[in-house]
Chain A
Amino acid sequence: GQQVMQIPQYQHVQEGEDFTTYCNSSTTLSNIQWYKQRPGGHPVFLIQLVKSGEVKKQKRLTFQFGEAKKNSSLHITATQTTDVGTYFCAGLRGATNKLIFGTGTLLAVQP
């Protein structure tokens, strides 16, 4: 079954508000990747985190990997309508070549 869970499943915000999605794995991950999927589109890679406690920023997006390498978060500051879409985390376990995708968080932004 699904071993990487994301919350919330859905979030509706007003433009300018902040947004956070959380990703939790039942097992330790080698690394975690984040993808964004626009409505009707395909997942597009955003970033990869590898080190315990790592924090990376991309403009208004802040990504964090937990100390135990079992959880991660994506925070968007001052959302814009272009941020609309589903955000997926995906974890890599051990030396496998398989990514286990989270259930995704659908973000809706009202102008």
Chain B
Amino acid sequence: NAGVTQTPKFRVLKTGQSMTLLCAQDMNHEYMYWYRQDPGMGLRLIHYSVGEGTTAKGEVPDGYNVSRLKKQNFLLGLESAAPSQTSVYFCASKLPNQPQHFGDGTRLSIL
């Protein structure tokens, strides 16, 4: 039972490049979330999903897109990376009325 797995763990991009971060969970959780964590800002919600095929915007959605084609996977896309998107990205999943389980994070640097 791996829990929540994020890939890749580290990545360096150039401004304007695109990439996709993958989150996979094997706990059959309905809800999945993408956060970014910056110093002094805590965790800010980017997008989330309450079930397969559904997504919704969080607090800071601009510049990101997501897809939930399969229940176990939640993808976060950066179409044209900007230096302001340098951050640590965390994925989380949960069942209704239960706490969130987090992945180990993806450290993304954009030059």
Contact = CB atoms under 8 A, between A and B. Distances in A.
Contact of B102 (A2, A42, A100): A42
Interface stretch (A11-19, A43-51, A56-64, A72-80): A43-51
Interface of B, secondary structure class, is strand
Interface string B23-53: 0000000010101000011111100101000
9 contacts: A33-B99, A41-B104, A43-B43, A44-B102, A48-B99, A90-B43, A98-B48, A100-B45, A103-B40
Interface of B: 31, 33, 35, 40-45, 48, 50, 58-59, 90, 92, 96, 99-105
B104 A101 contact: no
B102 to A, nearest CB: 4
Contacts of A68: none
B100 A99 contact: yes
A85 interface: no
Contacts of B35: 101
Contacts of A45: 99-101
A97 B31 contact: yes
Give chain A's interface residue range (CB within 8 Å of chain B).
20 to 34
B40 A2 contact: no
Interface of A: 2, 6, 9, 33, 41-45, 48, 88, 90, 97-104
Nearest to A31: B97
Given A42-B105, A43-B102, A98-B45, 8 more contacts: A45-B101, A90-B43, A97-B50, A99-B33, A101-B42, A101-B44, A103-B42, A104-B42
A97 B48 contact: yes
A63 to B, nearest CB: 13
A42 B42 contact: no
B56 to A, nearest CB: 8
Contacts of B58: 98
- Most chain A CB neighbours (cut-off 10 Å) among B33, B44, B99, B100: B99
A21 to B, nearest CB: 12
Nearest to A47: B99
